[in-house]
Amino acid sequence: MKGYLFDTHIHTKEASSCGEVPAAEVVKRYKSLGYSGIIVTDHVHAAQFAKHGSTYKEQAEKYLSGYRTAKAFEDENFKVILGMEIRFLENDNDYLLYGFDEDFVFSRDLAHFESLEAFKPVVEENNLIIFQAHPFRRHMTIINPALVDGIEVYNGHGNHNSSNDIAYAWAVKYSLPMLSGSDFHGNTEMEPGGVYFEEYVDDSKAVAQALRDKKYTLKCYQK
């Protein structure tokens, strides 16, 4: 047995304007594929949150709506976990963040940090873990590898060329931990991504610890 299969990069129609599938249908799809669970990583950035309401509380509630809806459909064989895909004001780079709960989302304005460097102390203070998503897609900016805990080397979004082969080579070059995820928005022709956790994970903090301890293997990757 390879372990417990989770998709690490999922978007819902409720909370990501680019999402095409309601959360309930996302859960149904991944249950049918034999996954042990999903990590809902809806978008957190200024442009997205501006569509969610006039106050940060309203915006945060909307961001959580996809996760909360999906959570209602979990069962003893399928877990729904909270994550996020966060972007900072400095450029169009996206980062996958794990290790937090709902209280953290309301503790500060996450949509308006100027840069990854400015956000890094928040990651460290809260024992979070952050991976750069699709780092070699068009319009991405090369960053100091020391600012992230790893990179996504397999991104399964079939409507983008994420240059997964370059991401894999970059991870090898800089000895960066690797991540695989579907970047699910709707049906595409690419193989769904994800990781096999060695031990069962039941919340975002457990995910962060498993990634930190490297107690997982990739479902899909480029080499």
Give pLDDT, residue 207.
Answer: 98
The arithmetic mean of pLDDT across residues 72-76, rounded, is 97
At 204 the pLDDT is: 98
User: What is the spatial distance between Cα 149 and Cα 160, in angstroms, rounded to a whole number?
Assistant: 24
Strand partners, 75: 78
pLDDT of residue 130: 98
Mean pLDDT of 117-145: 96
Q: Side chain identity at 72, as an amino acid letter?
A: A
**Which pTM does this prediction carry?**
0.95
What's the rounded Cα separation, in Å, for the pair 145 and 74?
A: 35
Strand-pair partners of 196: 5, 217
